[in-house]
Amino acid sequence: MIVKCRSCGAEITWAKTSTGATMPVDVAPSDDGNIVLLDGPRGFLAVTLHDDERRSYRPDKKRHKAHFATCPDANVHRKPRNAGRATP
């Protein structure tokens, strides 16, 4: 499902990462993107390509960027890394 970013209005979609987190991804493909969107049973799965994989990835396949990398207001929406973790 394509939605608009609440801050900048860019078209984004939500995808699950390998850890089960949900991340916003730019809908528009990017030649220097490092995210591949795969259709999953409950929506998109975001697969991150590392540098060596990105160089060898098929050029006919679309790559995207995490919206946190392109949104001018990303820090407003970013959750703290320790969110939800108990403190000792």
Tens-digit pLDDT string for the chain (88 aa): 899 999 999 999 999 998 999 999 999 999 889 999 999 888 999 998 877 666 666 666 789 999 999 999 888 777 776 655 555 5
Amino acid at 9: G
Q: Which two tokens stand for residue 34?
A: 């490092």
Whole-prediction pTM value? 0.78
Q: Which two tokens stand for residue 70?
A: 């392109």
Amino acid at 20: G
State how far the Cα of 6 lies from the Cα of 35, in Å rounded to an integer: 21
State how far the Cα of 69 lies from the Cα of 16, in Å rounded to an integer: 17
State how far the Cα of 54 lies from the Cα of 31, in Å rounded to an integer: 10
